[in-house]
Structure 1
Amino acid sequence: MDAKVNGNISFWYADIGLPAYRPPLPGDIEADVCIVGAGFTGLWTAYYLKKADPSIRIAVVEKEFAGFGASGRNGGWLSGGFGWSREKYLKTSTRGAVIDMQRAMYGTVNEVISVTEAEGIDADIRRVDNITVATNKPQLDRARAEYEEAKAWEMPADRIAFLSAEEARERINIHNVQGAYVLRGMARVQPAKLVRGLSDTVERLGVPIYEQTTVLGIEKGKVTTNRGTVRAPIIVRATEGFTAGIPGNERLWLPLNSAQIITEPLPQSLWDEIGWNGYELLGDAAHAYCYAQRTREGRITMGGRGVPYRYGSKTDVGGQTQQETIDQLYKILMRLLPQTRNLKIDHAWCGVLGVPRDWCTTAGLDEDSGIAWAGGYVGLGVSSSNLSGRTLRDLILRRDTELTRLPWVNRKVSKWEPEPLRWLGVHSMYQLYRIADEREEAGLQHTSKLAAFADSLTGH
């Protein structure tokens, strides 16, 4: 194996080239809405606000460039999935409202595709299924339990399926596959192309994006930066995995590290051996799960947590990741698709995603301070951020809609513990996950109790 570790942030930018920086904030300005962060959350919010009210003055401030963070580094899953605990939302809501939220999340796939078509954004979007494979009995039991849970929460029957080992192998020739759970109605995307197209669209609508502008503080009516001050009655904190870097938010959302590798393009003979003709989004039912896709030009990306957390909620440097992480991801690739063992790894990168203390995403607007937020997507941001944008639009414009009544809106959770407890908890959890996965791969016939103990450590 030969893997490069470089500072190109992600393969997605190596594919299309890094963008030129937009000008920074020119000094002190005033706006109706100031959005902090030019990733998917901030850009979707700006897009829907400006479409709803062309006269509204919006200023977007960004430390690096639009799409620098997770929006340009993710796995390219436009999933519309619901990967959080329904039971946790149910504690402060109703079953019907949670189902409404689930339905709204699924609707983001069609909504994103509709906007890209209307605005002429080419992001290599392809409608696909999401297949979660099981390669041992405990994984098979968990995949079936997830399938049954989806049915119990009124997932439409045409959106889900459970595959036998033979049916799963016909889709993708995964080594030792035992069965698979399928979610339909999802999409594959080239995320850097999507975020670049969205930022260009927002700018074309008349919203300035001030890059190279570091936010030093957020308070009622004011965003202080190294380039000047933005005064606005409404401020949107759209910083996701970078939220801990803003003073006063150090323990709000934990920046969880996620990394990916990508192979060189596969020859057709190898694709004939592997299959994957449906370009499905691919994951597995391991505790330390992975996420993969077959790209436009015939490569395989493989992602996972790697080294999951940096002490003190630190983030990576320009997407560079550790060799230890690359080795772990390569091991997963070999476990699932040993046919690829002679391929070269062309690129490796990482980024951070936001994790609230209860591992459930939120969006809201504090009426007293005028500060709005959305994020803590726990890895489901490509689709969820679109719903955030539409929800924040309605909250900011004081609309009472179906979106503003969903159970994730204005939901408050406790903060994360101070260090070293955060570091110890997260690293212990993922170490226990790995041991549990190893025991199950070695022949354990039931889900390892270590995984349940790992979940209890952090409330996962």
Structure 2
Amino acid sequence: MAQTVFERSRPSTRTVDHALSAAVNRPFWIDDITQPRRRRLEAPMIADLAIVGGGYSGLWTAVLAKRRHPDARVVLLEAKTVGWAASGRNGGFVEASLTHGDDNGRSRFPSEIERLIELGLENLDDIERAVGDYALECDFERNGALSLAVEPYQVDALRAATTDDHTVFLDTDAVRRQVDSPTYLAGLWEKRTSALVHPARLAAELARVAEELGVEIFENTPVRSISSSSGSPTAPVVLVTDDARVTARRVALATNVFPSLLRRNRLATVPVYDYVLMTEPLSDEQLRSIGWANRQGLGDGANQFHYYRLSRDNRILFGGYDAIYHYGGRVRPSYEDRPETFRRLAEHFFTTFPQLEGLRFSHRWAGAIDTCTRFCAFYGAARQGRVAYAAGYTGLGVAATHFAANVMLDLLDGESTERTSLEMVRRRPLPFPPEPVASLGIQTTRWSLDRADHHGGRRNGILKALDAVGLGFDS
């Protein structure tokens, strides 16, 4: 089996040991902010809209609901603290795509992909406007993204993806003038479709705005169950917490990777763990050695891909590659510390940037991604339109959550809109099978993707079969 560049050009053990020696197992982004403490719900409450989940999906829903209906009583219930899960742990890539890339969308929604691309760009523009309108202090930078070829077979794919004046193909010399790595063979600079944020700060700022608009946020308030009368579409929905109940006209479920309160969605997603390293701030000399003056977000073209970016204080976040599913599909803190994956990421980092030898990582962490079988978010309504939900973002949800919030509010308002008419919104993904079949299928797919990366991108019979039935995926 052929070796990848990360196996052909490994750094020394001493370099990796030194780099990881002081890294703490905590998300840098959450460490980097301070939030107010919010009370837990301890008394019964009546609301016009109750939102379950204090990540991006829930927070955008709260903000946009108050913009639509300023006088409505909106309550948000968060099991722990605002933004503590995926919204405070991700890479901070704000991608325009609503379909986890155009190729994934084209294979699943061919009749509407061009409109979905337009809607994705409009959605990203709306987020940028919201950053300005609400003075969101979240380090928003719309610098675009560089897709990188690090193996010869990836070069032609990038060249073929050059479609307009905002998408620029870069040969080896040109891409290394942007960011200098010996692993880069070519690049594609997509200048309109991507931005960067400080992810935990975005969540905190959305919570601030929501509260300023009158939303009541309760933390450390897990919702244990949901119930409603089936007799009337106007009957209230009841959410049961440890200490109280919320009776609401409408409910939005924004629980991401955690088990859905609706039985119909219990097999719709599985948690896949993603791992990340963050360096200490680079010195001016170190930054000059790699260039990166235009501060784009970066990602390579493998199935097991890496993503990386600069923070405001010139740290490098470096994550991806391993995507780990644990038998049983549970979310557990013990899964977040995986030394072999952090070591592999550190090796790949110094293969990418050998000129940064001696740099150390300050933080290492992980988070669970809510993966569904179509690899992009799905949406729906239940309980005669009184409950709406969105989930399954599969790691590309920072921007898509804003779109999802509007979809959920459209559904709860009973409106027929362009969004609710989309096939992407109306169609549900296939569920995952129960264990042990789920684990066998996921691990076999991971093995096949790794094999493709080691065979010039060639997909084996398993991947081709998944492609044929609409379950295929590549990055």
TM-score (norm 2): 0.86
Deviation at 1:247, TM superposition (A): 6.3
Query: Partner of 1:41: helix, strand, or coil?
Result: helix
Quickly say closer, same or farther: Cα 1:36–1:373, change in 2 above 3 A. Answer: same
Q: Give the Cα–Cα distance (whole angstroms) in 1 for the partners of residues 426 and 45 of structure 2.
A: 29
Q: Which runs of 5+ in 1 are unaligned?
A: 152-156, 441-445
Q: Give the Cα–Cα distance (whole angstroms) in 2 for the partners of residues 203 and 455 of structure 1.
A: 49
Q: 1:126 maps to what in 2?
A: 141
Deviations 1:62-107 (A, max 9, x none): 10011111111110101212425224543xxx62x33222211122
Q: Which runs of 5+ in 2 are unaligned?
A: 1-15, 229-236
Q: 1:311 maps to what in 2?
A: 327
Q: 1:195 maps to what in 2?
A: 203
1:174 to 175, 181, 199: 181
Quickly say closer, same or farther: Cα 1:224–1:5, change in 2 above 3 A. Answer: farther
1:15 aligns with 2:25: no
Maintained 8 Å contact 1:133/1:284: yes
Deviations 1:136-178 (A, max 9, x none): 1122234345x16xx4xxxxx1332221111111111122321
Quickly say closer, same or farther: Cα 1:318–1:52, change in 2 above 3 A. Answer: farther
Q: Give the Cα–Cα distance (whole angstroms) in 1 for the partners of residues 125 and 259 of structure 2.
A: 29
Maintained 8 Å contact 1:66/1:196: yes
Maintained 8 Å contact 1:79/1:109: yes
Q: Give the Cα–Cα distance (whole angstroms) in 1 for the partners of residues 181 and 261 of structure 2.
A: 40
Deviation at 1:405, TM superposition (A): 2.4
1:83 to 77, 80, 100: 100
Query: Partner of 2:336: helix, strand, or coil?
Result: coil
Q: Give the Cα–Cα distance (whole angstroms) in 2 for the partners of residues 319 and 200 of structure 1.
A: 31
Query: Partner of 2:246: helix, strand, or coil?
Result: strand
Q: 1:434 maps to what in 2?
A: 450
Deviation at 1:367, TM superposition (A): 6.0
Deviation at 1:455, TM superposition (A): 7.8
Q: 2:170 maps to what in 1?
A: 163
Q: Give the Cα–Cα distance (whole angstroms) in 2 for the partners of residues 338 and 412 of structure 1.
A: 45
Aligned pairs for 1:195-234 (under 5 A) are 195-220=203-228, 221-234=237-250
2:158 to 143, 149, 155: 143
Q: Which one is further off, 119-128 or 215-224?
A: 215-224
Q: Give the Cα–Cα distance (whole angstroms) in 2 for the partners of residues 370 and 456 of structure 1.
A: 35
Query: Partner of 2:181: helix, strand, or coil?
Result: coil
Maintained 8 Å contact 1:306/1:324: no
Deviations 1:119-150 (A, max 9, x none): 121111111120111011122234345x16xx
1:46 aligns with 2:54: no
Quickly say closer, same or farther: Cα 1:144–1:255, change in 2 above 3 A. Answer: farther
Maintained 8 Å contact 1:217/1:247: no
Query: Partner of 1:310: helix, strand, or coil?
Result: coil
Q: Which one is further off, 76-85 or 32-41?
A: 76-85
1:278 aligns with 2:299: no
2:459 to 439, 449, 459: 449
Q: Give the Cα–Cα distance (whole angstroms) in 2 for the partners of residues 415 and 21 of structure 1.
A: 38
Query: Partner of 1:381: helix, strand, or coil?
Result: coil
**Equivalences, count:** 440
Query: Partner of 2:446: helix, strand, or coil?
Result: helix
Q: 1:425 maps to what in 2?
A: 441
Q: 1:269 maps to what in 2?
A: 285
1:103 aligns with 2:118: yes
TM-score (norm 1): 0.89
Maintained 8 Å contact 1:428/1:454: no
Q: What percentage of residue pairs aligned between the two structures are identical? A: 27
Deviations 1:266-324 (A, max 9, x none): 11112112111100100000110111101110111011153511221112418832111
Quickly say closer, same or farther: Cα 1:261–1:364, change in 2 above 3 A. Answer: same
Maintained 8 Å contact 2:223/2:239: yes
Structural RMSD (CA): 2.3
Maintained 8 Å contact 1:126/1:189: yes
Q: Give the Cα–Cα distance (whole angstroms) in 2 for the partners of residues 406 and 456 of structure 1.
A: 24
Deviation at 1:249, TM superposition (A): 4.0
Quickly say closer, same or farther: Cα 1:372–1:294, change in 2 above 3 A. Answer: same
1:365 aligns with 2:381: yes
Maintained 8 Å contact 2:23/2:361: no
Q: Give the Cα–Cα distance (whole angstroms) in 1 for the partners of residues 367 and 460 of structure 2.
A: 27
Maintained 8 Å contact 2:276/2:365: yes
Maintained 8 Å contact 2:38/2:217: yes
Amino acid at match of 1:16: I
Q: Which one is further off, 37-46 or 365-374?
A: 365-374
Q: Which one is further off, 225-234 or 61-70?
A: 225-234
Q: 1:154 maps to what in 2?
A: none
Quickly say closer, same or farther: Cα 1:48–1:21, change in 2 above 3 A. Answer: same
